[in-house]
Amino acid sequence: MALDSTGRDHTEDNAQHGNIAADRLRSLVERIERLEEERKALAGDIKDIYAEAKSAGFDVKALRALIALRKKEPAEIEEQETLLDLYKRALGM
């Protein structure tokens, strides 16, 4: 029994708070697990689409590069292309 300075037992209070925290923790973990499963399913779907693209004659490596470019801002793309051109000229390419 955990008595405080007033002689009050806090065992039940602590257990109740522990249950609330445990319920919240369980809820968070279960939500994360569901999202992880969804992410795994989505990754499988994306892999299937790349396989479809490859079987249709598209270069998957080029597709991945194109998708990465589409995520960037135009100024960032321009800066990257300028640097690439500069480096290629420096190497005589």
Whether 24 and 67 map to the same domain: the answer is no
Expressed as residue numbers, the domain containing 50 is 1-58
Task: Tell me: pLDDT of 2 over 70.
Answer: no
Instruction: Report the domain count for the chain.
Output: 2
Number of alpha carbons in the 13 Å side-chain half-sphere of residue 46: 10
pLDDT(7) > 80: no
Residues 7 and 43 in one domain: yes
Q: Do 44 and 73 belong together in one domain? A: no
* Residue 93 to residue 87: CA distance in whole angstroms: 9
- The Cα 49–Cα 61 span in angstroms is 13
pLDDT tens-digit series, residues 10-66: 555 655 666 789 999 999 999 999 999 999 999 999 999 999 999 999 999 999 999
| 68 and 53 within one domain | no
Whether 36 and 64 share a structural domain: no
